[in-house]
Structures are given as C-alpha cells and as structure tokens.
Amino acid sequence: MIAMQGTLTESQHESYARTRAALLRQREWFTSGIELVEAKAECLQQASECLQREVKTHGLALAHFDRLLSNSDYIALASYFGAPMLQPNPKTQPWVDERVILNLRAEREETADVEWGLLFAENFIVLHTELALKPAAQQPRYILLLCVEPPLPDAGGQTIVVPMDAVARGLVPAHARALCRIHYARIPDAPPFLRIEDGRAVFSIRDPGGAALEWKYDDGDESCAGVDGVNAAIRSFLTALYDPDIIRGIPWQRNLLAVIDNRRVFHGRTFGGRPLNGGAPRHLRRIRVSRDA
C-alpha cells in the first residue's frame, strides 16, 4: 500500500460518541484505584522519591501534602522529575505564575472555544495525551497537577485518567499495526498515533471530540484496506479509549498533588467545577515537565 491521506469525520450515531458524551457529562466521580501517599511540604525530596516510585509503577501518583505548596516549593518538586516547561501562549498569561505554572480555574461558563478557553471554563475536556500534535521530543514527559480548590465530590469537574496499556489491549492486532503508521496530517515531525517504547504501547493522540481528524498513513501494512481501513482503526481506538471499565478518576481535595506520566496515561476532565452557589471554582495548578530528571 502506498502512503495516503484522509479525514475521519464523526457521525453522531457512533457508539463511542454516545459513550464519550455520557462519561464526560457524568457527575458521579470515578474511583482512582491508586493509594494516596501522605507527604510533608518540608520534605520535598522524600516526597519526590515516593512519587517517582509510584508513577514508575502505575503511570500515576497521588500525594496529599500537609499544607499547600508555595510556587517555589512546587517548582522545586517538579524539578525532581525534570525540567519545568515554559507556558508561552500569550492568551493564557493572565493565568500563569513564575512562567511555568498554569492556574486552571473553572471560573467561566461553558464555552465554544476549545483551543484554550475551555481550560478556564466548566467544559469537559476529551481524553488526550499532552501536546499530542508536537514532535515527541517537545511533548512533556510528566504533568503535575496541584489542587488549590477542589470541585465538589460527585458534582463533575474530575480529572479522569486511562492507562495506555489498557487501551492497547482493546485493539485487534491489525488496528494496532495501522495506528503505528498513522500521523496527524500537516503537522511536521508528528509522531505516529501509537509507537512501542521499552516494550510499552505509547500513544500520541487527542480524541478529536467530533471535529474532523486529518491523518496521513505511511507506506506499509497491506492489510489496512485503504482509507476505510485507516478510519476503522481510529474508530476502534476511540471505542477502546472510552471503555467505562478502564476509566479512573483523581479524588481531588485541597493540597492533593497528581503526577501523570504522559507516555503511559491519557487524561481528561468531566464537565463541571464551577459552583452555581457563589462558592470558589475548581482550581488546579499545572506544571508540565519535559523529560526525566
């Protein structure tokens, strides 16, 4: 088969689209399945060592600190994992501290702006890998999220996570092979949607969320069966991604820190987090880390 390009357009009748809508609008919180580590803000190195062990084992680590970390302490903790990445987008600068901390406050009503405005609104966020449209070397290795103000339990606004290996297990071999040859079109040096690193499945893709997905397929697997075969592989991936049995959620509370391995875990957010009774909106502080320490 020669290299080709195409577009996946989503029908409202797709089963995964209905499942996605139900899961991302769900108010009841998902369980985490991960043990919570108790940590002291005065012992950052000790906390980082424990977190690194947990994230190496599970792809996700959770620590509850005895007080809210200051910006300098938070950056110091992130630096144990690698190099904190700058937040260069000029539109988000009002929410940036110390050039690397992005304050995710759900202080706005639902918005149609899915480029950056949804970060600060009550919108859900589809499951994705961070900066999936960038070359692999420019994608963060870890995402750190520190809770300043939690959403109300079982009222939406929860960060959800899905292990990549669980998604890979939901694919038939032919679809997995095809995904290893599919990239985003028009994105120079975009990695394939699926690659194998150190024996693990590593995805680099964002659920298009109903928008058209333009793709490019490399030379290779004769069994892919053309454009229809590529689109079938992507649909199969989206079905596996939103399997309710593999979705977990972070149980946000004040001073809780989550570390997500961007090469092992998808993440997203359910709708909500903006109280209608005048209470404080959901507020997380995010740091991206570019590489292993």
Categorize the per-residue pLDDT at 221 as very low, low, confident or very high, splitting at 50, 70 and 90. Answer: low
Give me the mean pLDDT over the 224-235 stretch.
90
Q: Identify the CATH number of the domain in which residue 222 sits.
A: 3.60.130.10
- pLDDT of amino acid 222: 59
Q: With contact defined as beta carbons under 8 Å apart, do 58 and 40 qualify?
A: no
- pLDDT of amino acid 291: 79
- pLDDT of amino acid 13: 87
- pLDDT of amino acid 276: 75
The whole-angstrom separation of Cα 266 and Cα 209 is 14
Question: What is the rounded average pLDDT for all residues in the chain?
Answer: 94
Q: Which residues span the domain enclosing 115?
A: 4-289
| Stretch (H or E) spanning 17 | helix 15-24
- pLDDT of amino acid 12: 80
CB neighbour list of residue 202: distance below 8 Å, 6 or more residues apart:
164, 194, 195, 196, 263, 264
Put simply, whether the predicted model's pTM sits higher than 0.85 gets the answer yes
What is the bridge-based pairing of β-strands 36-39 and 60-65? parallel
The per-residue pLDDT for range 58-87, each reduced to its tens digit, is 999 999 999 999 999 999 999 999 999 999
What percentage of the chain carries pLDDT values higher than 70? 97
Q: Considering its fold, how many domains does the chain have in total?
A: 1
Q: E strands of 129-212, at which residues?
A: 142-149, 159-163, 182-184, 194-197, 200-203
- pLDDT of amino acid 272: 93
- pLDDT of amino acid 278: 73
Residue 110 has pLDDT above 80, yes or no: yes
CA 89, 93, 96, 99 torsion: positive or negative?
positive
